[in-house]
Amino acid sequence: MDTSSIKIILQILHYLFFGYAFAAITSYIVLSIISGIETVKYKRKNSFVNYKDILSSAMSPSITIIAPAYNESLNIVENVRSLLSNHYVNYNVVIVNDGSKDDSLEKLIKAYDLEKIDYIINEKIKTQPLREGIFKSKNPAFEKLMIVDKLNGGKADALNMGLNIAKSKYVACIDVDCLLLEDALQKMIKPFLEVTDAKVIATGGVIRIANSCEINGGKLVDVNLPKNLLVQSQILEYLRAFLLGRMAWSRLNGLLVISGAFGIFDKKIAIAVGGYDTNTVGEDMEIIVRMRRYMEEQGRKYKVSYIPDPLCWTEAPDTYKIFISQRNRWTRGTIETLKKHRKIGFNPKYGWFGLISYPYWLIFERWAPIIEAAGLVYFAILVALEELRWEYALSFLLLAYLFSVLFSIAAIYSEELTFHQYKKKGTGFKLVLLSALEPFVLHPFILYAAIKGNIDYYFNKTKKWGQMERKGFSTVQT
């Protein structure tokens, strides 16, 4: 290959990288604008809603909270207490102890005065069998609680057991360690009851980070910004993703994922599609894609809704090791889901879902780390070949950095002007500082985890879930 051919190839690559970056940035801007408009609309619509009647009405639809638990002995009793303190009247809680090796079950039996009961399970979805059986409390104060002890089958299998057991019309699938605000259920059920021109199949909520927040009796009493830089950076990342991203996708009815930490589903549709896929580590995304695909194939008008209120708080990884393991899993989950449902991509039969949502996820979520890593390698090659034009490299690097800072600041504004959770003095300055630091303290690790996730997906098929070490929330005494 002569020099001119190499130069032409390099030129093409320049334009490809430039075009990709330009498209990504444009999409972020467009999504942010749509999110902003949608958030304002949401706040206006909900500023005069009376939630009290729904929450106390016997006619409000029943909801079953399904919370899978595996070796959660440290916090299980407190976590269940939090789930039982919801203000909604017509709900029950099913804790699926997924073959825990610790003393979770014993602790629950003792704390909630449980006894074994006979319960006929309509096994609409195949799951691992029961181990110790099904338990209910002898104490009427905990009549909403049911504990299912089964053999280990993973989170998806535990959720499927919950789907088989639930008798209600709607199911709220939640991580047991999540802290739900008392008004979470009535806010999340609203779209199901309100939309009349389409069937709402699922509603997702914002996930907020609870590290360093103060919890009392299963209730959030004080929101604090954690001291750990990694956790702080994740707070900013979550604000961006939830307030500037998902809100827009909700408006476009293009949401492909509802966080596994908290989402409400139409049980009938969830069962009709076969429940959660036990062969993926991204079961939360996969079930939504499958439910959407099912509705599209049935030719039914549907919607996946999203509520921006901070209703669910969870513990985020506070060490890089756990963080990388989590993001590695998210990457593999995305790859598995998109691969499994590749038929949808660019397929006009699936409308917006096939032509916009799926391609966006494929190009700007699935491919993003690969293209970024390829860009870095390309950069190194150019340096080695002394072909790098520094004036271009530095100016675009600076522009990209400034855009990322601006985007984070936009997310902070969105939070301040809507939900304003980080009220304490000095927090605003810290968040702004984080906007400048995050590209260095968080992004490289996200990229590393995503690349590792790709490698693990293709070359280490046996890798499943990573471990998440729970430290528990800070609690205050009354």
Partner 1 sequence: MIDFQILLEYYNEFPFLVKLAWDFSVVLSILITILIVYLKFVRKHLRKIEVDNLKFKNEYEGLLIEYLYSEEEAVEISEPQQVILEKLKKHVPIKAKRKVIISVLYKLMNQVSGEVTDALKVVYQNTGLIHYALLRLKSKKWYVIAKGIGELTRFKIDSAEDEIKPYLTHPVREVRKEAHFYFVTLFQFEGLSFLDKLTTPLSEWDQIQMLEILQKFSDQEICDIKPWLQSKNDTVVLFALKLANLYNQYEVKDLLMDLLSHENKTIRIQAIEVLTHLYGIEAKDVLKANFNELSLEEQISFFGMLEKLVIPDDEPFIEKHLFHKNFEIQLLALKILKSINIDKYLGLNKLPSNKKSLAMLNLTDTI
- Selected from 7, 110, 321, 423, the binder of partner 1 by CB under 8 A is 423
In this chain, which stretch among 194-202, 326-334, 366-374, 449-457 interacts with partner 1, using CB under 8 A? 194-202
Instruction: Provide the token pair at 42.
Output: 């949401």
- Selected from 413, 419, 445, 448, the binder of partner 1 by CB under 8 A is 413
Number of chain residues interacting with partner 1 (CB under 8 A): 45
Nearer to partner 1 by C-beta: 50 or 462?
Answer: 50
Q: Segment 110-129, which members bind partner 1 (CB under 8 A)? A: 118, 120-122, 124
The dihedral through the CA atoms of 377, 245, 211, 184 has a sign that is negative
CA distance 416 to 181: 20
Nearer to partner 1 by C-beta: 77 or 405?
Answer: 405
- Selected from 378, 403, 419, 445, the binder of partner 1 by CB under 8 A is 403
Q: Any idea what the Cα angle at residue 266 is, between residues 263 and 268, rounded to 5°?
A: 140
Q: Are strands 63-69 and 170-174 parallel, antiparallel or unpaired?
A: parallel
CA distance 152 to 464: 14
Nearer to partner 1 by C-beta: 388 or 405?
Answer: 405
In this chain, which stretch among 102-110, 269-277, 403-411, 438-446 interacts with partner 1, using CB under 8 A? 403-411
The reply to whether 197 sits near partner 1 by the rule CB under 8 A is yes
The reply to whether 405 sits near partner 1 by the rule CB under 8 A is yes
CA distance 229 to 436: 12
CA distance 356 to 359: 6
Rg (CA), the chain: 23
Nearer to partner 1 by C-beta: 81 or 199?
Answer: 199
Angle between helices 427-441 and 443-459 (to 10 degrees): 40
Residue type, 475: T
Residue type, 32: S
Which is nearest to 159 in space by CA: 257, 272, 287, 255?
287
CA distance 331 to 454: 7
- Selected from 37, 117, 141, 398, the binder of partner 1 by CB under 8 A is 398
- Selected from 3, 5, 50, 478, the binder of partner 1 by CB under 8 A is 50
Q: Any idea what the Cα angle at residue 475 is, between residues 261 and 438, rounded to 5°?
A: 55
Nearer to partner 1 by C-beta: 48 or 459?
Answer: 48
Which is nearest to 34 in space by CA: 304, 254, 247?
247
- Selected from 35, 60, 326, 454, the binder of partner 1 by CB under 8 A is 60
Nearer to partner 1 by C-beta: 62 or 474?
Answer: 62
Give the max Cα distance, the chain.
Answer: 83
Q: Segment 355-394, which members bind partner 1 (CB under 8 A)? A: 391-392
In this chain, which stretch among 314-322, 364-372, 418-426, 446-454 interacts with partner 1, using CB under 8 A? 418-426
CB of 77 to partner 1, least distance (A): 31
CA distance 169 to 23: 42
CB 65 within 8 A of CB 174: yes
Nearer to partner 1 by C-beta: 64 or 314?
Answer: 64
- Selected from 22, 346, 352, 396, the binder of partner 1 by CB under 8 A is 396
Query: Residue 44 in 3-state DSSP?
Result: helix
Site string for partner 1, 426-455 (x = CB under 8 A): --xx--x-----------------------
Q: Which residues contact 470 (CB under 8 A, 6 or more apart)?
A: 72, 74, 75, 177, 315
In this chain, which stretch among 51-59, 259-267, 299-307, 458-466 interacts with partner 1, using CB under 8 A? 51-59
The secondary structure of residue 61, as a DSSP letter, is P
- Selected from 19, 22, 33, 53, the binder of partner 1 by CB under 8 A is 53
The reply to whether 39 sits near partner 1 by the rule CB under 8 A is no
Residue 467 burial by CB count (10 A; 0-12/13-18/19+): exposed, middle or buried?
exposed
CB of 152 to partner 1, least distance (A): 23
The reply to whether 11 sits near partner 1 by the rule CB under 8 A is no
Nearer to partner 1 by C-beta: 1 or 59?
Answer: 59
CA distance 403 to 362: 23
Nearer to partner 1 by C-beta: 349 or 423?
Answer: 423
Q: Which residues bind partner 1 (CB under 8 A)?
A: 44-45, 47-48, 50, 53-54, 56-57, 59-61, 118, 120-122, 124, 190, 192-197, 391-392, 395-396, 398-399, 402-403, 405-406, 409, 412-413, 416-417, 420, 423, 425, 428-429, 432
